[in-house]
Structure 1
């Protein structure tokens, strides 16, 4: 049997398991668990691989599960990743398999990621004697909540021996039937800060005896708006959002303390560093101007996601040259604003992260993290075939 027919056989076997794939996705959708609390989901994944010819490591960096499929032949080692946590959202879809856990929902497609990966993993195990090298499946917990599961799994050896990593995200607002990609920086890095402005409280009738924390904090919010427009290059991308301003109090009392929380997005490591430096400088200025002090907690949690151009070109060529009937196009997309902790794998190994369109058949596409979020389940088979094709072509001749 030739290597080309190995891929054809893999795709055929995947097609035969489509109903099981959808069944798994719907079970997981009905039983979501929050980040770092995915104990039952992790156990479900572990149990799926029982009695199968593979090595399973549980509790990797937390609830992570690493599955190694060894062909028994020399060659490269490819890592493929799927996340499995859910979100603190009350579902409003009316699906027959809607969440049975109040206030928790798979509103980002991670149920679909896990379903396609389980079926793909099972099929690769069945065919491992026809492969070369190794496949390492990274079933990752806690993508949604910093510091995320990727960084702890890496620290626990999940990438040991892995040469390159590939990942997929289904996208509800991208056209179903198509795959989208972009080389280079593709998703923003994310930072979080919490700052408390400490002033001196007082009565509204005697403002000269107080140091008004609300006034100081308000100036801080306004001056932040100059960071992106004046501190970043016009060719770089960044944003700062103050999502929480806790200044509630009595109308005639000058607040002695105000707490703010901010979200920072950037499209390069340099921009991420520049914004942090500017936030700290603005706070120093506000402190001197208004005679207040501040306490700052600033965290750069997810890095910018970088797709290695060479690895991405390889993946795109595989996708364009593989006969996947469900796939109607492979297109370059714009950079994506959300952050993604797959970025940690990409910092360690040259990697590719790409997107599978999943607009529901009824055309009502709700964004990720929306209580009405849903996906076209045809995206699962496209994901499985796309990743399966990449695995086969990547390992083909890798021992040479």
Structure 2
């Protein structure tokens, strides 16, 4: 199987692989890099819509590096895992500064760039430069673990090293085959050798490796690769302030290393374990609730002037958002202010509703404000 694996896989791709994806058959390392980063943790259907738009706005590494990070985050809004967008921007600057605007061909040099790991470096090198560089994303790990009966959890160092060794051994001998081979690996894992419904168990189509796959021969297809049992995701509550003055809403830039890092969102309280009761209660008087709300959400700001200018406070919806490793319930509190209160922090800004589309917003907050904007006939419609 090692000898003929690449040939069989390439033949499979010619018949059953995905064709016509906008990032296929291109050798521009910038375009390849953007597609690889965007496809991490994001469904292909979503990337099909967003990738062309991103490339139109930032057509080359020079334009991306020169753009304000807020513009990059705004274009990335809704794709999630925003560290990717910040790293994308930082990497573009690094390529301009250290490599004169040209991506290096060597996978080891690519791996030194911000946000590019070993597998992504291999993909860029294979697609753009036809380098014989292996990849090992989650799909490829699953394929190799099943085909070769690799036991043990893929998070284990020894297992991971074994898989990397296999990935390197299986590479086609001709470098010109690297783009289609690498794409075939990705497609085979994403569409045929899937986690829960591989074709070998459906009986609808015949896997080209059916007679050689160790997992299939030993009836362990759904057992390989071994998975570490994950602990239950922790759950949290927080309170968010939707403070409006006229046609503007108060936004706060989130810390770079926090969840939704670098995005603009509604000011929020510290997260509390969901088992603990919220300190706010609708049974409290409006004035007391407002004071406590501002102390929770904006503890470093003087609340006297804010409280003096507020007109009313109203409990809004509670939004549930599921992250990869946690769940968050956000209680929205609507407050209007008679004045555009000045805050001491540069991370607090009054933004007109019609300009919200220029800011990178977390998806649940974007949807919330979009409803508010459409109600008022303003612009958060992109």
Q: Is the structural similarity TM-score above 0.5?
A: no
TM range (shorter): under 0.3
Which structure has the highest strand share of the two? 1
Considering Cα pairs closer than 8 Å and 6+ residues apart, tell me whether 1 or 2 has the greater RCO.
1
TM-score normalised per structure 2 = 0.23
TM-score normalised per structure 1 = 0.23
Which structure has the highest helix share of the two? 2
